[in-house]
Amino acid sequence: MPDPVDQAVAHARAKAARTLPVFVAMLLAVVAMSLPLPRRFVAVVPLVLVVVLTVRLLRFLTDRKGSEKVVPAMTLVVAGVLLATLGLQGLFYPQVRDYEACVAGAQTSEALAACEQLRDGVFWGARELG
């Protein structure tokens, strides 16, 4: 009969081997989300990888207690939120691009306020600045 301590250690090692790639991919996705707008969409690749690896990790943990599944489930939620954020930025790409270009070129607080009006106009229907 196998030793319970050896089984626990083997399970912990297998779980760590499945968890590390998830967090490395999530770190890459977060770094990619900070890139300028056209390049930011490369974050979809590590985010999809996070989703796939996290689902595999959750399937590995099916016979374990629920507390071990909390962090992978939260990781799945965060990856979903980041994918939704990228989707919205893709949906409103021209407006987001214009806003980011405005903020990058703003050198005064008045110019930054004009950029904020441009941003608010995207979602609240205010007229855009020309």
What sign does the CA torsion over 29, 31, 78, 82 have? Answer: negative
Provide the domain limits for residue 95. Answer: 39-126
Residues 59 and 107 in one domain: yes
Tokens linked to 94: 């021209």
- pLDDT digit string, tens, across residues 26-42: 999 999 999 988 899 99
For residues 68 and 95, membership in a common domain is answered with yes
Contact between 40 and 96 under an 8 Å Cβ cutoff? The reply is no
Specify whether 103 is located in the same domain as 122.
yes
Tens digits of residue pLDDT in 44-65: 999 999 999 999 999 999 888 8
Residues 22 and 71 in one domain: no
CA distance 32 to 38: 11
Tally of domains in the chain: 2
- Contact between residue 89 and residue 99 where contact means Cβ atoms under 8 Å apart: no
- 16/44 same-domain check: no
Using the predicted structure, report yes or no on whether residue 126 has a pLDDT greater than 60.
no
Residue 63 shares a structural domain with residue 115: yes
